[in-house]
Structures are given as structure tokens and as C-alpha cells.
């Protein structure tokens, strides 16, 4: 059997990372969370006190940091220059400015090269915004996840609660909508369904159900 590459794209909080992680587990594949890479880059820029609107300074900074994804005790963690930053990268503050940083072509160039390198042996499930369109245009299976804005906001609120962060549902809805708008309208690799991607609406599906559906699609390709 061949080890395929599976691209999972979709808007914010559509369930990509949970689905991709469980699917990778089921297949014995590597899971690559590209959003975590953009998040770690954003955290690093913030910490360095760089003006996020200074594109050149941001790009220069991102060229000189090391981001890696490693499994620790069976859980995938995100490292920035060897520091585990997994808990620091999923905050409302990062969500607010990440779309600015990820819109810079120089930033994308650096991270996309790393993502392609990670996928080159196959046997990967990669999630993000531009995986099927730009990062892995030859992926054997491409999935585009969607869900209603209400359901996505509800799921994100639960995620945040688990981290001890309380946020109003309306505010979350606004943040998600704003991020989707920026991610979809940027010039460089915008959030967009690839022509050959299969779309899955997860609004009324459980995580288990959505993983099972994509798993079956994957088996057709293996």
C-alpha cells in the first residue's frame, strides 16, 4: 500500500486539527498542523516587540527562528527555538494578529518550504488553509471542511474554556469571521477550496463521524 498525502483545509474552527490528528492516528501517519507553525511565528514576532505592520522586519525575523513539531508523551507539541510554546500559541491575542503576519509572502515562503519538506516522504495528514491549493497541490486526497459560523463559535468557546479562557460567543463569532475574511482575501495563497477537493460539512457531525468519513475516502486512494 502506498503512503499518501492528505490535505485538510477549511476556515477557522471548522474542526480541521482535531480531525486531522485523529485521522493521522488511525492511519499511522504523521500529522502536521501548519496553523501551529504560523502561530509560533506570530508569537515570536510579538515577543520580539516587532511592529507587525513592518513586513520586512517580520519576514527577516521569521527567517531566523526555528519552528518544529514534535511528539512528546504521545501528544504533538509545537516548539519555537526548542521551547515548547504549545500552550502560548492559542490565545485571542495571537488570533487577532496572525492573519496579518500570515499574509506576508516572505513568511509563507519560509513556512511552506518547511511544510513541503515534512511531507516529502508521504504518509502525512496536513491541515491548514492552502495545503490543497499551494503547499501540496499533488496531494492524493484533498478535503475542505466547512461548518456553520454558530457551530464553529460554539466549538471554539469550548476549546477556550478548557484553557481557562472565558470569551463571549458573539465576540468569538466576530473574531472567526474577521480571520476568515482576512485569510480568504489575501493575495498570497488565500483560504480557498481546491477544485479537486471533497467538501465536508461538519455542522451536524460528531468528530468520530467526520474522521470515519474521511478515513473511508482515504482508503479509496491507498
Which residue ranges are tagged as binding site for ATP?
Answer: 10-18
Of these, 61, 129, 152, 156, which contacts ligand C5P (CB under 6 A)?
A: 129
The interface region with ligand C5P, picked from 31-39, 61-69, 151-159, 192-200 by CB under 6 A, is 31-39
Sheet holding 124-128: strands in order across? 30-33, 124-128, 5-9, 141-146, 198-201
Of these, 12, 45, 69, 143, which contacts ligand C5P (CB under 6 A)?
A: 12
- Name, in order, each residue with C-beta under 8 angstroms of 200's C-beta and a sequence gap of 6 or more: 143, 144, 145, 146, 210, 213, 214
Cα–Cα distances (Å) from 103 to 75, 130, 198, in that order, read 29, 12, 25
Task: Work out whether 39 is an interface residue with ligand C5P (CB under 6 A).
Answer: yes
Q: How far is residue 58's CA from residue 1's CA, in Å, rounded to a whole number? A: 43
Task: Work out whether 34 is an interface residue with ligand C5P (CB under 6 A).
Answer: yes
Task: Work out whether 21 is an interface residue with ligand C5P (CB under 6 A).
Answer: no
Task: Work out whether 99 is an interface residue with ligand C5P (CB under 6 A).
Answer: yes
| Virtual torsion, Cα 32, 178, 183, 10, nearest 10 deg | 50
Of these, 35, 61, 136, 176, which contacts ligand C5P (CB under 6 A)?
A: 35
Q: How far is the CB of 111 from ligand C5P (least distance, A)?
A: 8
Q: How far is residue 32's CA from residue 12's CA, in Å, rounded to a whole number? A: 16
Of these, 128, 144, 156, 176, which contacts ligand C5P (CB under 6 A)?
A: 128
Site for ligand C5P, rule CB under 6 A: 12, 34-35, 38-39, 98-99, 102, 128-130, 179, 183
Amino acid at each position: 500500500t502506498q503512503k499518501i498525502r492528505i490535505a485538510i483545509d477549511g476556515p477557522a474552527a471548522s474542526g480541521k486539527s482535531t480531525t486531522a490528528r485523529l485521522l493521522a492516528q488511525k492511519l499511522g501517519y504523521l500529522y502536521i498542523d501548519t496553523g501551529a507553525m504560523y502561530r509560533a511565528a506570530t508569537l515570536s514576532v510579538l515577543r520580539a516587540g516587532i511592529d507587525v505592520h513592518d513586513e520586512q522586519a517580520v519576514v527577516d525575523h521569521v527567517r531566523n527562528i526555528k519552528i518544529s513539531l514534535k511528539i512528546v508523551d504521545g501528544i504533538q507539541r509545537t516548539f519555537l527555538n526548542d521551547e515548547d510554546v504549545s500552550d502560548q500559541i492559542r490565545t485571542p491575542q495571537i488570533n487577532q494578529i496572525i492573519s496579518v503576519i500570515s499574509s506576508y509572502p516572505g513568511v509563507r515562503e519560509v513556512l511552506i518550504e518547511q511544510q513541503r519538506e515534512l511531507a516529502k516522504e508521504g504518509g502525512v495528514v496536513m491541515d491548514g488553509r492552502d495545503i490543497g491549493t499551494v503547499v501540496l497541490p499533488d496531494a492524493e486526497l484533498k478535503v475542505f471542511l466547512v461548518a456553520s459560523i454558530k457551530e464553529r463559535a460554539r466549538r471554539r468557546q469550548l476549546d477556550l474554556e478548557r484553557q481557562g479562557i472565558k470569551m463571549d460567543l458573539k465576540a468569538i463569532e466576530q473574531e472567526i469571521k474577521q480571520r476568515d475574511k482576512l485569510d480568504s482575501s489575501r493575495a498570497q495563497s488565500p483560504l480557498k477550496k481546491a477544485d479537486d477537493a471533497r467538501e465536508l460539512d461538519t455542522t451536524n457531525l460528531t468528530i468520530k463521524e467526520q474522521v470515519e468519513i474521511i478515513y473511508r475516502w482515504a482508503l479509496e486512494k491507498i
